Amino acid sequence: MARSPAAQLNLKHLGLIAAIAEHRQLSIAAEALGMTQPAASRTLAEAEARVSAALFERHAKGMILTDVGESLARRARNILDELNLASDEVERLRLGRGGVVRVGAVSGAAVGYVVPAIRRLKAVSPEAEVHVEVATSEDLLSGLIARRLDMVLGRVPPRLAQDGLALFPARGEEVCIIARNSHPAVTGRPLKLADLGASDWVMQAPGAPIRQAVEEAFVAQGAALPRHVINSASLLIALAMLDDDRVVTPVSREVADLVAGRRSDLAVLPLAERIEVAPYSLVTLADRRLSPVAARCRGLLVEMLAGACPPDRAAGIRPPSPA
């Protein structure tokens, strides 16, 4: 297919046409572009030869666009503006000031680490578009492997081969139990899990890390497992169920501090024995090159996971004052 005359113009031609249209003087346009006037004259003559039409009429008071010149100048300005915008966008992406980052995290890590990481990231990359997904480790790792997520703060199940995954270890989570202030177990004294056996529990499905840690703690203390359990990984569901003073729910320390610190009707129950969940990790795909903004986000998370900033302080969360 033969190329149209206008398609034979290059950026040098378009830049000069737009500059002459703006300044109405060849000499001023040439100076604005850093060209000599003879070079600008040759470039304009070449552009007019390629489109086989005059682009400007020369008058004593300046250069006036012809109809063809008006059409080309308008499009030249649009093209140059788009290229400038593209250049700015590429520079922002290259420097990590913009772009998209997708992070997945289990609830405690989302509150304790992802939230402060986002705050720091937006301080240096205000144009970054951040997506956060909170779910179970298994669901998050599926998203990572499918490349829907750039990184995940979660636990790699033993049955999942770690080949192809890059892991940065984090710390373990402490499990806390939340209830309404009116729950019968809110007495101020340290509780054994047997004291909560008759309560209605809202927990993740069997096999989930927090659920497994709680059940193992029941067994270790010689207590019968809770008989009344609602299975849900949704914190929203758990908080709604906590309107009932018979309900308790286990959550990470970060989530407990966040929730109980902001709702005066809820309390973190004091446990006689600490319950802990196995550590999670910051997981990425070993063969995937992160975008600059995603790499910056990962660097912030690594800094916090390495202990440079405690998670509750990083998130701006303070444990509730003792009653």
Percentage of residues in the chain having pLDDT higher than 90:
47
Say how many C-beta atoms besides its own lie within 10 A of residue 79's C-beta: 15
Q: What does the domain layout of the chain look like in residue ranges? A: 5-94, 97-171+279-314, 173-277
Fold of the CATH domain 97-171+279-314: D-Maltodextrin-Binding Protein; domain 2 (3.40.190)
pTM for this entry: 0.62
Are residues 280 and 106 in contact, defined by beta-carbon separation less than 8 angstroms? yes
CA nearest 287: which of 167, 169, 168, 166? 166
Exposed, middle or buried by CB within 10 Å (0-12, 13-18, 19+), for 85? exposed
Cα first-last separation, the chain: 82
Tokens of 1: 């297919």
Residue 24: phi and psi, rounded to 5, are 65, 5
* pLDDT level of residue 308 (50, 70, 90 thresholds): very low
pLDDT digits (tens, 9 = 90+) for 233-284: 888 999 999 999 999 999 999 899 888 888 899 999 999 999 998 888 999 9
Q: Is the pLDDT of residue 120 over 80?
A: yes
Q: Say which range, 23-37, 114-128, 256-270, 296-310, has the weakest mean pLDDT.
A: 296-310
Whole-number pLDDT of residue 1: 45
Mean pLDDT of 300-318: 62
DSSP state letter for 3: P
* pLDDT level of residue 91 (50, 70, 90 thresholds): low
pLDDT digits (tens, 9 = 90+) for 21-40: 989 999 999 999 999 999 99
**47 vs 9: CA distance, rounded Å:** 6
* pLDDT level of residue 114 (50, 70, 90 thresholds): very high
- Top pLDDT among 82 and 167 is at 167
* pLDDT level of residue 87 (50, 70, 90 thresholds): low
CATH architecture of 5-94: Orthogonal Bundle (1.10)
Tokens of 201: 């529990």
Select from 3.30.420.40, 3.30.450.90, 3.40.190.10, 1.10.1060.10 the CATH code of 173-277: 3.40.190.10
Domains 97-171+279-314 and 173-277 share a fold: yes
pLDDT digits (tens, 9 = 90+) for 64-80: 999 998 989 888 888 88
What does pLDDT average to over the chain?
85
